[in-house]
């Protein structure tokens, strides 16, 4: 049975609005009342990237009245392969500004609010409380966990998806109606366990397909249409082109929404990955000093994945993925300079190697800093 509509109907539609949304008005279960609910809806979109792009555009086209977009990033050239809110002329702009302009071109009647900052404990609860539902297009686990806790605490639907390379998952987490995100994913992996799209790659069209699913789920909730993905995990294999659903259930002992959950516990939940104690920025090697160290006999170790090295490499670097370092793989003798993309993974490698007694040093800023300062003509990602 369809659930009750999440949002009350707004004012009567004008003649122009009825014409614009005529194809919705023809749909059983939507009609004019459903369109008025969409016009009265307030949706919080976390992330104006790959998932957020199609979700934002389709929600605006559908007639959602208010859309608040949260993102603290700038548009980068590498985003354009999948983040269709942004174009080549937007490179270097704030993503929220580019997203606002794109949404306004699609639907000038949609009110767009922008938040140019990363969500934190002080900002997430007021934002979530001011909206009917949240669409989670976050690109990192700490933000995802923060949003999940806020939604569970306030009993706000959390429309979520995750994409890795060619595969994806999606669901609607809603404490009190079904499981929350932490019921199903109680432990958050470390960054090296699940590489981001910046490390592992992602098929842009797959992100588009799943972002559209997010928009469909949001519309169903707002209007009271069909069966939302509450208690179900949608699993997509893009290479096999299969779509499956798994039943998932609320965990009565969930530390976020279970009977013993502490509503006063920190929303962050300690999910942020700390910088290893054996290394802190400023203790490593500046890109400008790398050549001199290598000439003096140091060895450069690249802990990135093979696909990353195909895009750009530092001449002379020896490939040794982070997982191999953490597993205790042998390394050359003498001074080692370790690098990854931007310094995070290599910092973990340096901490591990120093614990083994190796004179290891991190390349501050990784290969991105090296390209920016030494070889700006090289590709980045």
Per-residue pLDDT of the chain (381 residues; tens, 9 = 90+): 568 999 999 999 999 999 999 999 999 999 999 999 999 999 999 999 999 999 999 999 999 999 999 999 999 999 999 999 999 999 999 999 999 999 999 999 999 999 999 999 989 999 999 999 999 999 888 999 999 999 999 999 999 999 999 999 999 999 999 999 999 999 877 655 666 677 778 999 999 999 999 999 999 999 999 999 999 999 999 999 999 999 999 999 999 999 888 777 777 764 444 444 444 444 689 999 999 999 999 999 999 988 899 999 999 999 999 999 999 999 999 999 999 999 989 999 999 999 999 999 999 999 999 999 999 999 988
C-alpha to C-alpha distance for 39 and 97, rounded to whole angstroms: 22
Q: What is the pLDDT of residue 276?
A: 45
Tell me how crowded residue 367 is: count the other CB atoms within 10 A of its CB.
Answer: 29
Domain membership flag for residue 261: no
**What is the structure's pLDDT at 319?**
96
3-state secondary structure at position 343: coil
Query: Among the options 180, 183, 254, 340, which is catalytic?
Result: 340
Alpha helix ranges (H) inside 155-233: 181-184, 197-200, 204-223
215 and 291 inside one domain: no
Identify whether 183 is a catalytic site residue.
no
103 and 228 both lie in a single domain: yes
Q: Is residue 217 part of a domain?
A: yes
Residues 6+ apart with CB under 8 A from 322: 192, 303, 304, 340, 345, 346, 348, 349
Instruction: Give the pLDDT score at 27.
Output: 96
Catalytically annotated residue among 180, 197, 254, 257: 197
Q: 169: which strand partners?
A: 162, 235
pTM recorded for the entire structure: 0.77
Domain boundary among 247, 278, 311: 247
Tokens 């799209």 appear where? 197
Which of 219, 247, 275 is the endpoint of a domain? Answer: 247
Which token pair is 36? 């008025």
Same domain, yes or no, for 243 and 314?
no
Q: In this structure, are 94 and 223 located in the same domain?
A: yes
Q: Which of 171, 172, 229, 237 is nearest to 203 (CA)?
A: 237
Taking phi over 0 as left and psi of -120 to 50 as alpha, with beta for the rest, 240 belongs to: alpha
The CATH number given to whatever domain includes residue 141 is: 3.40.50.720
- The reported pLDDT for the residue numbered 194 is 63
Per-residue model confidence (pLDDT) at position 219:
98
Looking at 220, 247, 274, which one is the last position of a domain? Answer: 247
340 among known catalytic residues: yes
Residue 103, domain member (yes or no): yes
96 with 189, same domain: the answer is yes
Residue 379 in tokens: 């590709």
Q: Check residue 235 and give its pLDDT.
A: 97
Same domain, residue pair 48 and 98: yes
Residues whose CB is less than 8 angstroms from the CB of residue 316 and which lie 6 or more positions away in sequence, other chains included: 294, 300
Residues 220, 352 share a domain: no
Q: Report the C-alpha gap between 149 and 38 in whole angstroms.
A: 26
Could you tell me how far CA 45 lies from the centroid of its own chain? 11
DSSP assignment of 258-319, as one string? STT--TTS-TTTT-SPPPPTT--TTSSB-HHHHHHHHHTT-EEEE-S-HHHHHH---TTPEE
- The boundaries of the domain holding residue 224 are 15-247
Q: Residue 4: inside a domain, yes or no?
A: no
Q: Is residue 20 part of a domain?
A: yes
d(CA 162, CA 146): 15
């Amino acid at each position: 049975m369809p659930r009750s509509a999440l949002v009350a109907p707004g004012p009567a539609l004008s003649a122009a609005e009825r014409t614009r949304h005529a194809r919705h008005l023809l749909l059983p279960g939507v009609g004019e009342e459903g369109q008025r609910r969409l016009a009265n809806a307030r949706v919080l979109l976390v992330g104006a990237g790959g998932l957020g792009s199609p979700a934002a555009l389709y929600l605006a086209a559908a007639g959602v009245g208010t859309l608040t977009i949260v993102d603290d990033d700038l548009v980068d050239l590498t985003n354009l392969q999948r983040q269709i809110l942004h174009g080549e002329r937007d490179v270097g702009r704030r993503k929220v500004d580019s997203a606002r302009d794109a949404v306004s071109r699609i639907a000038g009647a949609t009110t767009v609010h922008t938040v140019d900052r990363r969500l934190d404990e002080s900002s997430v609860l007021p934002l979530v409380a001011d909206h009917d539902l949240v669409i989670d297009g976050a690109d990192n686990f700490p933000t995802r966990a923060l949003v999940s806790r806020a939604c569970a605490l306030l009993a706000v639907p959390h429309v979520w998806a995750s994409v890795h390379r060619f595969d994806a998952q999606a669901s609607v987490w809603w404490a009190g109606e079904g499981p929350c995100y932490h019921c199903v994913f109680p432990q958050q992996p470390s960054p090296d366990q699940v590489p981001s799209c910046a490390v592992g790659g992602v098929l842009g069209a797959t992100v588009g397909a799943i972002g559209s699913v997010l928009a469909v789920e949001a519309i169903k909730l707002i209007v009271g249409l069909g069966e939302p993905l509450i208690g179900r995990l949608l699993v997509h294999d893009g290479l096999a082109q299969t779509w499956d659903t798994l039943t998932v259930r609320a965990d009565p002992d969930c530390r976020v929404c279970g009977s013993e959950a502490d509503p006063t516990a920190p929303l962050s939940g300690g999910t942020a990955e700390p910088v290893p104690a054996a290394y802190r920025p400023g203790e490593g090697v500046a890109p400008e000093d790398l050549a001199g160290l290598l000439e003096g006999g140091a060895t450069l170790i690249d802990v990135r994945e093979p696909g990353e090295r195909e895009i750009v490499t530092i001449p002379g670097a020896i490939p040794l993925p982070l997982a191999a370092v953490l597993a205790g793989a042998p390394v050359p003798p003498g001074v080692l300079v370790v690098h990854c993309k931007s310094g995070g993974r290599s910092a973990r490698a340096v901490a591990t190697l120093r614990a083994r007694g190796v004179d290891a040093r991190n390349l501050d800023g990784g290969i991105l800093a090296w390209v920016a300062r030494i070889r700006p003509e090289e590709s980045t990602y």
